[in-house]
Amino acid sequence: MKKRNTILLLGISAIAILVLAQIIIIRGILKQNHEMLYLRYRLLSQEAIASLRRQYRVDVYDTVRFILNDYSEKVAAELPLIKDEEELNRKKSEILDYFTVTLNQEEYLSDYLSAYFERMGVEKDFISRIEIRNLEIISTDTFPIIRTFNFFGKPPPEPGGPDPGISRRNRAPAEGGITAASPGIYPAGGTRLLVERRGLEDNYYSLFFEFFIDFSDKQKMVLQASSASLAMSLFSLIIVVAIFMFTYKNLMEEKRLSGLKTDFINNMTHELKTPLATITVAGKTLEMERIRQDDAKVLETAKLIGKQSIHLNQLINMILEISMWERTEFQLDRKKVPIEEVMNDIVNSFRIGPGNSATLTTKYNFNGLEAGIDLVYFITMINNLLSNAVKYSVKDPVINIEGYTADRKIFVRIADNGIGISKSDQKHIFEKFYRTSSGNIHKFKGLGLGLYYVKKIATAHGGDVTVSSKPGKGSIFTVTIPY
Ligand code: ADP
């Protein structure tokens, strides 16, 4: 039990480690594919922007630039007149909003990118967003509206880097500036792609912003790109788990069989010891002077020795037979015999022999059939079933034997009123050495071989044996043999 648990624990741990390793690998692959995708779109975007400027010699922000300059001229005149701090901040906020809305509404880079992506045969649907990083209104004085990052003093962060982090870290507003409203439309976790950083300047303003795009179904795209690796990894995992389960099951089966064998050896030893002990005692008895004087006692003891020797011999023959059956193919010596007569002979011998305590009823319907069977094995088979019917009963045994033919098959049904067999045991009783737990209590002696033989003999004849039983009620064994 302890060993079994250790194996199970080791196996499960190994699989858990494997799953963990696979998760790490898959995460790596997903990350790599994500980055590849990111890089690919970044390159494509750069190509698109370059081609736009090369081909049309326009800037996508030309319209924006004019609108913003007109607006800035107006606010540049207003700003120096505002004295109230609160009022000034409100105005700045309004300016920032206007810039943001205008930039996002009037740019046409996103349309151009989308068309370019389509032409390149890649995903064209994305969300775009411009975020202002630096904005100053130039009047008699310079009015900082927002200053979240010192783009010119410090090197700009690597494209594709965690820009939300950077902007947050550097969001401390400069004196007189205000913080930018946080962009709400993006999924968290930096899945958006920075396409470009741009500065725009005119008479009345200086502006610096970042243009982002975000693929709404990017995760799906990444998953698609990784699907082969994912499938392979899942497949290999399934195989490993299946192999483990198969090996474990086999191991348990081996253990069970070895347990059955040990039981068998114990039972066998017990079976052998009983006649041997009787013979030893009988021998000792014969040594006694008093007994030797009494002819009747000598004869009785000699008979007892003879009987026990025969029993011992039978047991030894059985062991020899088992090992022979295991080593050689089952050879049948088939001869045509009248089945009904054979059945009558078996039952009659049984009635006066081991079954003398039982009530036996028979009902045959063989219509004088002669079938080719191995007589010796057939007798062994029916005898084993009859012996069990008597052996496994706690009250007076009543055994009903029925025989008939149907579908070119011989049916022999042996029904008893014995202790019955539970459903879980029924699955195993035909296995070699198998004994039910009640069978192991030495009240019912046995080696767990009787039904194993029955099954072997029936299948060697091309037939089968089945059981139906209810614990406490009795059992019905049915042998079928084709003819
Ligand atoms: P053995 O009788 O030597 O134990 P068998 O192979 O003949 O071995 O039977 C296997 C087990 O099936 C027995 O241990 C017993 O528990 C159960 N069994 C067999 N026949 C009967 C029966 N007629 N009624 C109840 N239990 C039975």
Q: pLDDT tens-digit profile of 62-81?
A: 888 889 999 999 999 998 88
pLDDT exceeds 90 at position 388: yes
Ligand 1 centroid from CA 426, angstroms:
10
Ligand 1 centroid from CA 372, angstroms:
28
The two structure tokens encoding residue 424 = 């879980």
Per-residue confidence band for 267, with pLDDT thresholds at 50, 70 and 90: confident
Q: Is the CB of 177 under 6 A from ligand 1?
A: no
pLDDT exceeds 90 at position 409: yes
Q: Is the CB of 475 under 6 A from ligand 1?
A: yes
Ligand 1 centroid from CA 314, angstroms:
19
CB atoms within 10 A of CB 133: 22
Residues 382/346, Cβ–Cβ less than 8 Å: yes
Ligand 1 centroid from CA 458, angstroms:
17
Residue recorded with tokens 């699955």: 427
Fill in the amino acid letter for 155: P
Q: What is the mean pLDDT of the segment spanning 155-181? A: 40
Q: Is the CB of 449 under 6 A from ligand 1?
A: yes
Which of 295-299, 323-327, 335-339 is modeled with the greatest confidence?
335-339
Q: Is the CB of 450 under 6 A from ligand 1?
A: yes
Q: Looking at residue 400, what is its pLDDT?
A: 96
- The H or E element spanning position 111 is helix 109-119
pLDDT exceeds 50 at position 154: no
- State the Cα torsion 12-18-21-22 to the nearest 10°: -120
* Of 358, 361, 437, residue with least CA distance to 401: 361
Percent of the chain with pLDDT over 90: 38
Q: Which of 319, 429, 469 to mutate to test the pocket of ligand 1 (most atoms within 8 A of CB)?
A: 429
pLDDT exceeds 80 at position 187: no
SS3 state of residue 153: coil
- The H or E element spanning position 221 is helix 218-225
Q: Is the CB of 139 under 6 A from ligand 1?
A: no
Average pLDDT, rounded, for the chain: 83
CA 256 to chain CA centroid, nearest Å: 24
Q: Looking at residue 167, what is its pLDDT?
A: 36
- Between 51 and 165, the higher pLDDT residue: 51
Q: pLDDT tens-digit profile of 207-239?
A: 999 998 887 666 677 777 778 888 888 898 899
